[in-house]
Amino acid sequence: MNYTKLLDKVMNCESYVRFAIIVDSHGNKIESRLKEGTANFLPPQEMNESLKFALDSWKFRTKNAKFLGKNRYVVAVYDNVRRFTVPIDDEHLMLVTLDNKGGQKDMIERILSILEGDYTKSIFSGPQS
């Protein structure tokens, strides 16, 4: 998978996307993007800890998938941002931070559509007849 193109698409899919990062299952940063003119809220050390926590939480959720079903994504809502975590494949996660100004459902739907490769399909609309 071309992670550069993927992050470019995600960063450009909606004006409310602030930051996106792809990490592997060991927490190693593969690639990231920060919206021009935007500063990270977290200092580097806290960012690394936040990524580790997100990865560990994802692994825990994956372990419980046999009971709850496959985890599609997670949204954490903070005062300043919303963080959306989604798997790219079995070995990689993408974390995206979004401004609180935009429509959360619309942004998540666009990002999921990019990952599924169908930019016209609505993830939340249910089966098509």
Q: What's the pLDDT at 99? A: 87
pTM for the full model? 0.80
CB count within 10 Å of CB 31 equals: 14
Per the listing, tokens 């409310």 go with: 16
**The two three-digit tokens of residue 89, written as one number:** 């494949």
Q: pLDDT averaged over the chain?
A: 85
C-alpha distances (whole Å) from 62 to each of 29, 66, 72, 124 are 20, 8, 10, 22
Q: Could you read off the pLDDT of 102-118 as tens digits, one per residue?
A: 667 777 777 878 888 75
What residue ranges define each of the domains in the chain, with the CATH number in brackets? 3-35+42-116 (3.30.450.30)
Q: What's the pLDDT at 102? A: 67
C-alpha distances (whole Å) from 26 to each of 33, 91, 93 are 20, 9, 10
Question: What DSSP line would sit under 64-101, residue for residue?
Answer: THHHH-----EEEE-SSEEEEEEEEETTEEEEEEEETT
Q: Could you read off the pLDDT of 12-50 as tens digits, one per residue?
A: 988 889 999 999 999 899 999 999 999 999 999 999 999
